Structure 1
Amino acid sequence: MASLKRLIFRNTLFNSFSFIWSILLNILLLPFMIEHIGIVGFGVYVLVISITGYFALLDLGIGVSLVKLIAEHNAKKQFEKMNEIISTAFFTYAIIGLIVAAGLFSIATLFLGVFNMPQEFYSQAQTILYIVGITSIFSFPLLALNGVLSGLQRYDLTALIGFITATLSAIVTVAVLLAGFGIVELVLFISITQMLCSLLNLFFAKKLFPFLRISPALVSKKPLKTIFSFSLLMFLLSLTGMITFETDRIVIGIFLTVGLITFYEVNLKLNLITRRVFHMLRAAIIPTASDLNAKGDFKGIQRLYLDSSKYLNFLFFPFVLILMVLAKPIIAYWVGAEFAEYYLVAEILLTAWFFVSDMSDPILTGIGKIHFMLFFALLHSISNLILSIWLVGPFGLIGVALGTALPAVVFGPTIFLPYVLKTLKISFREFFREIYVRQIIFSGLMATILLLAVQIHYPQNIIETGIYGAAAFAFYFWVILSVGLRKDEREFILSLLAFKQAKI
């Protein structure tokens, strides 16, 4: 089990480097982009990118299915079956890319009029949709190869590709906007950059898996059925996730104004950063759970859930609490005081994370127990959409945030958690003791001290705000390492630092 934990730690660490770098770039670029393309222009940019994001759903869950299936067949050394699955996914993605292009062209031509958008931005929004549609034809097939790297549990390489892509995209963004171009040229050059970077997936997949063959001759109904028997459910889960996390901008664009999307987006960024950190910390679990499931190691799956959830919350709780306490000064000094007027949006959205912060999703996905996940996700997303539309009228942006957060707060602990514990045969007492008690006590202590510090001396600039956050983290981890961990946990964390980099 120790080697398994070390593998998860290594994969999570490499994911962390890439994600943190991407987050830092987003933090730096957001005020720069708003300054150069304006509040309304940035709102239009975010809205159109959200629309294109919905077409990522036509992935149909194939990506997650690939990770699971590649991990299982690789564990059994069934290389020919791996090639069949990869080839089938590759050419299926090629067809999906054509469908995505057709869909984006249709929206650009027929449906943009439903949004409350200044007339001068309509043609720009249309052109962006055309650009993304064309590049989708070429970029979608390469998604199959990203699934190969993840299924082989080489998250160091997916992290490297993510790092390169994020860095080059940021450089392109700065260069394009400094040259005086607008959102159309920005999307064009970023799309080309990301498409070229995705070719690295092919290079590394071939190097790691020399037996890799992608051929129409390997496409057959059997692997297609295997992929879609799992991926259809994952598609529906992705759809519900899209409704939960991405429809806010659509609701604001229809019922309020496109300009207000920018104010919401700035505050939403803290939640999106939190979401990325959350998924970063959980990313390595699906193939690991699949591997244990393929070997019939149920005890290992139980231990994986408890241990990974425990360490997740040791990191995640203080991160969320620091963002909540410092949300207003962070936004004010980062983007501007006018955006900080809506800081309650950030705090409301962040609150929901305390009710869904465990490893249940990737564990259940890895062992194929996703039917109830789908039911819960549908309940969550539909409630989210209805509440957001209902509350946007009387409460504006705050209402949209409440509509997003309330379903997680209400349904997470009352419906989803009992199912998880029953499936994994874990008592609530053991769950709460391992995953929540110490995390709540020590992160709560940290947050209380941070709140008092802010009341005594409110941070006067972004540097002071950063110092407050860093000091809070340092205090928290000092307390945790001193008195918050058992001896075996402390020794395990220190032993993780001795891992060795895998060879390509």
Structure 2
Amino acid sequence: MRTPPTSHTHPITRLSIAKNTLHNLSSHALYLLLALWGIPIIIRGIGLEQFGILALFWAVIGYFTLLDFGISKAITKYFSEVAIQQDTAARQRLIWTAINTTMAVGLLSSVLVFTAIPLGVVDVFNIDTHVQEVRYLLLITAGSIPFLLLYGTFKGFLMAIQRFDVINYLQSTLGIVQWVGAVIVVAYGGGVQGVVIISIVARLLILIITVFVLPILSPGFFSNFLVYDRGVFGRVWRYGVWVTVSQIISPLYLYIDRFFIGYFLSLGSVGLYSIPQETLTRSLAIVMSFTMALFPVLSAQSAILDGGRASKVLYEKAVRTLIVLILPVLAMFIVNAHVLVGMWLGNEIADTTVDIFQVMAIGLFFNIMAQIPNTLLQAYGRPDLPAIFQMVELPVVIILHIIMIPRFGIIGAAIVWTSRVFIDAGLHFYFVRRSLDGFRAAIDQVRHADIGLMLLVVIYGSISSVCDDATSVIAAHMLFIAVYPVIAWRFALTGPEKESLAGLFRSRPR
């Protein structure tokens, strides 16, 4: 049942979403910088073979923390709802059901890893040396899985109460302890075992800190203990199963094309294809930082009487903001792809991969846009729809790869990828329009803005493609840069947004 809105049921502002997005981006950036700094030092210290063992450990950790049966995502949604409804009894039922379910799933995962260790080390990974060492490390990893999953659940609670600052302080601390600690261990002659232990200890440290922080941020968090609530468990489990389906299938789309390229063409072709794919898809981290901040807001709004109206406004603004910001960047990249890739990787690789970059950049736009309706559907309790889209698309993609790659090479794989994300985005927008009441008008408004800006981009690309001298190309760029803000102002921005921007410029000191 939805709660009537009160003065305290709308604590979220656009400013807080932007601030939370920046928190997410900053911790991602710090972790990336630490990894770029630490990995070469660790490789030099322990050798490539032992670094491969370390990578195996990281893969196991990442796999099991990702596949938590969607519990952490479900927690963020339902805790956002009960928090805004201020239902203390429902809150405690959800907390303890989530904690105990997570521990049960973690213990089961540990047992599975313990059971699989003899088979996995010798037969699957074909490791001839360091067998005992790898078994020892996997035993440590298996024992830590329940605690790693528990931190994911606690992180879901923190996301629900909008404490992304705390989450990212913890994540930053984890990154610093893990990477700096690993480098120190290697510098003093430690091996892969020391690095693994540092990684585990860092995560346990963050878990302990979180246990102390949660009752401060949410008083009474660990009160009224119970084993589990059957109704809450059913809701969390049904929601989490669909999230798990998406979590299993999504990585397949990132690697299945590489498998078929390697099978039909060569490993060298896989390498060439991976350069644009990895480069472009990594940029999704920026959008994911935004949708992470957006998800608990939309989840909370889905639980209150006037939340639908607020969600429609927020949804429309989010989609239009991405269109306005992402479209010109990708358009200029596509037009100048050969020059930019040549400056980065050299003209030889640019000549081979520029078409892949351009085709996948088009797909990236639709992939980015699909993240907003995907977040909305999950926030409004429909994680089944994105999962069903992925299940239906997967066999079609496999068939298309089998047809396209032998005939057209790696550009065929890029066309299949772009076609899939285009269709996937269309399905997301269509089913938001069809399945959620009142979102039809918001999507129609966004579509009008999209058409105007897309038309300008097509004209810009067409003019640039026929320019055969540097002066004409520069003139086309300058014209696009001058005209795009005018079209965006006319078709993409609403009246209140125009007034806010105008007021911002008027308020600037002279």
Report TM bin, short chain.
0.7 to 0.9
Residue 417 (structure 1) aligns with: 429
One-letter code aligned to 2:314: L
- Please point out which of 354, 365, 377 is paired with 2:365: 354
More displaced 10-residue stretch of structure 1: 148-157 or 235-244: 235-244
Query: What is the CA-CA distance between 1:140 and the residue it aligns to?
Result: 1.5
8 Å Cα contact 2:434-2:440 kept in structure 1 = yes
More displaced 10-residue stretch of structure 1: 70-79 or 351-360: 351-360
Residue 73 (structure 2) aligns with: 64
2:117 maps to 1:102: no
Query: What is the CA-CA distance between 1:375 and the residue it aligns to?
Result: 1.2
2:198 maps to 1:198: no
Spell out the pairing of 1:123-162 with structure 2 (5 A cutoff). Answer: 129-162=138-171
- Give the 3-state SS of the residue equivalent to 2:221 in structure 1: coil
Residue 245 (structure 2) aligns with: 236
In structure 1, how many angstroms separate the alpha carbons of the residues matched to 2:338 and 2:430? 35
8 Å Cα contact 1:116-1:253 kept in structure 2 = no
RMSD: 4.8
Residue 5 (structure 2) aligns with: none
8 Å Cα contact 1:149-1:155 kept in structure 2 = yes
Residue 170 (structure 1) aligns with: 179
Q: 1:98 to 1:335 in 2, by over 3 A?
A: farther
Q: Could you tell me the percent identity over the aligned residues?
A: 19
Deviations 1:52-91 (A, max 9, x none): 5443354111111111111111111112221221111112
- Give the 3-state SS of the residue equivalent to 1:212 in structure 2: coil
- Please point out which of 68, 87, 91 is paired with 1:78: 87
Query: What is the CA-CA distance between 1:139 and the residue it aligns to?
Result: 1.8
Q: 1:116 to 1:234 in 2, by over 3 A?
A: closer
In structure 2, how many angstroms separate the alpha carbons of the residues matched to 1:257 and 1:375? 32
Spell out the pairing of 1:83-482 with structure 2 (5 A cutoff). Answer: 83-111=92-120, 129-176=138-185, 185-213=194-222, 217-245=226-254, 268-297=277-306, 298-318=308-328, 320=330, 349-356=360-367, 357-358=369-370, 359-384=372-397, 404-413=417-426, 415-424=427-436, 425-426=439-440, 429-435=444-450, 437-438=452-453, 441=456
One-letter code aligned to 1:95: A
Q: 1:337 to 1:101 in 2, by over 3 A?
A: farther
Query: What is the CA-CA distance between 1:394 and the residue it aligns to?
Result: 8.3
Larger radius of gyration: 2
8 Å Cα contact 1:442-1:479 kept in structure 2 = no
- Give the 3-state SS of the residue equivalent to 2:302 in structure 1: helix
Length-normalised TM-score, structure 2: 0.74
Query: What is the CA-CA distance between 1:122 and the residue it aligns to?
Result: 7.1
8 Å Cα contact 1:255-1:392 kept in structure 2 = yes
Q: 1:109 to 1:2 in 2, by over 3 A?
A: closer
8 Å Cα contact 2:65-2:145 kept in structure 1 = no
One-letter code aligned to 2:393: H
Deviations 1:93-151 (A, max 9, x none): 11222222233344443246787878558777656544432321322222221111111
Q: 1:293 to 1:411 in 2, by over 3 A?
A: closer
Q: 1:272 to 1:183 in 2, by over 3 A?
A: farther
Q: 1:410 to 1:38 in 2, by over 3 A?
A: farther
Query: What is the CA-CA distance between 1:14 and the residue it aligns to?
Result: 2.3
Q: 1:68 to 1:390 in 2, by over 3 A?
A: same
Residue 488 (structure 2) aligns with: 484
Residue 462 (structure 1) aligns with: none
8 Å Cα contact 1:349-1:405 kept in structure 2 = yes
Q: 1:334 to 1:196 in 2, by over 3 A?
A: farther
More displaced 10-residue stretch of structure 1: 180-189 or 142-151: 180-189
Q: 1:58 to 1:328 in 2, by over 3 A?
A: same
More displaced 10-residue stretch of structure 1: 170-179 or 288-297: 170-179
8 Å Cα contact 2:122-2:128 kept in structure 1 = no
Q: 1:369 to 1:482 in 2, by over 3 A?
A: same
Query: What is the CA-CA distance between 1:189 and the residue it aligns to?
Result: 2.7
In structure 2, how many angstroms separate the alpha carbons of the residues matched to 1:173 and 1:75? 42
- Give the 3-state SS of the residue equivalent to 1:213 in structure 2: coil
- Please point out which of 4, 10, 25 is paired with 1:16: 25
In structure 1, how many angstroms separate the alpha carbons of the residues matched to 2:309 and 2:195? 50
Query: What is the CA-CA distance between 1:274 and the residue it aligns to?
Result: 1.4
- Give the 3-state SS of the residue equivalent to 2:288 in structure 1: helix
Q: 1:14 to 1:116 in 2, by over 3 A?
A: closer
Q: 1:166 to 1:322 in 2, by over 3 A?
A: farther
Query: What is the CA-CA distance between 1:247 and the residue it aligns to?
Result: 6.0
Deviations 1:355-390 (A, max 9, x none): 231410111111113332221121234445666688
One-letter code aligned to 2:430: P
Q: Structure 2: give runs of 5+ residues left out of the alignment.
A: 1-9, 472-476, 506-510
One-letter code aligned to 1:419: F
Q: Structure 1: give runs of 5+ residues left out of the alignment.
A: 458-471, 498-504
How many residues align? The count is 480
One-letter code aligned to 1:489: E
Q: 1:218 to 1:261 in 2, by over 3 A?
A: farther
8 Å Cα contact 1:309-1:435 kept in structure 2 = no
In structure 1, how many angstroms separate the alpha carbons of the residues matched to 2:183 and 2:312? 47
In structure 1, how many angstroms separate the alpha carbons of the residues matched to 2:440 and 2:180? 48
8 Å Cα contact 1:86-1:144 kept in structure 2 = no
Deviations 1:309-340 (A, max 9, x none): 11123333455557767878888888999998
One-letter code aligned to 2:322: L
One-letter code aligned to 1:354: F
In structure 2, how many angstroms separate the alpha carbons of the residues matched to 1:273 and 1:318? 18
Length-normalised TM-score, structure 1: 0.75
Q: 1:94 to 1:27 in 2, by over 3 A?
A: same
In structure 1, how many angstroms separate the alpha carbons of the residues matched to 2:129 and 2:409? 25
Q: 1:200 to 1:20 in 2, by over 3 A?
A: same
